[in-house]
Amino acid sequence: MSTLEIKDLHVSIDTEQGSKEILKGVTLTINTNETHAIMGPNGSGKSTLAATIAGHPRYNVTSGTITLDGEDVLEMSVDERAKAGLFLAMQYPVEVPGVTMTNFLRTAKTAIDGEAPKLRTWTKDVKEAMGKLKIDADFAQRNVNEGFSGGEKKRVEILQLELFKPKFAVLDETDSGLDVDALKIVSEGVNRAQNENQMGTLLITHYTRILRYIKPDFVHVFVDGKIAEQGGPELADRLEEEGYDRFLNVNA
């Protein structure tokens, strides 16, 4: 078992008005084989948490820690995070002109594992994973994300998840812009990665819709840069019925 541990994390960004604190003390422990949903209103800092785990340079960690099996994640470069077993969808460029999907996947897999995958099994693995995600075979020869629709980009994201076999995946609004069919295909891919590789998942979402297909073990409600409430799957059901009003009106 592996553990991703976030302790009392404070994160600021530089704005024209000066430094602004976005995360105000986030504490969260995720083990492999667990699915944690982070839910919360817009602007509560969910993407800031994802981007900080990913190592986005814009976000300044002012205090607190992120560790993976005790190793300091904040000291790692983006590449080192991927090698350590973190999958962070946003670290991959939106479009890579002149690089085919096939070459990109093999290069990234080689970098993550520290050795090139065996060509025959790799080609078969890629084909199979593409088939399961209903990605057309000719995508393999297309340039990364060039001209892909929103739904196709999401599928390719999950394709990476299936092939790279990370210990932990941080998925930020993976459900946005997907129709029900695409949502099901993408969710099945996440569920496969969880079942086959004991992946731990941090599933960030504003809406409860994706939680019908990816069942969380834990639900954390994120409000104003902190976790305001935690519970099991029943908390998501409650949010679906009530929305976030009761969290937003506390000071009204």
- Contact footprint for Mg ion (CB under 5 A): 46-47, 194
CB of 239 to Mg ion, least distance (A): 16
* Minimum distance of Mg ion from residue 217's CB (angstroms): 6
Query: Where on the chain is the footprint of ligand ADP (CB under 6 A)?
Result: 13, 15, 22, 40, 42-48
Closer Cβ to Mg ion, 104 or 247, answer by number: 247
Choice between 13 and 111, CB closer to ligand ADP? 13
Name the binder of 67 from ligand ADP, Mg ion, none, CB < 5-8 A by kind: none
Decide whether 22 or 28 has the Cβ nearer to ligand ADP: 22
Q: Cβ closer to ligand ADP: 45 or 166?
A: 45
Residue 47 CB, nearest distance to Mg ion (Å)?
3
Least distance (Å) from ligand ADP to the CB of residue 243?
Answer: 15
Cα 80 to Cα 92: distance, rounded to the nearest angstrom: 14
Distance separating alpha carbons of residues 215 and 147, to the nearest angstrom: 32
What whole-number distance in Å separates Cα of residue 170 and Cα of residue 173? 10
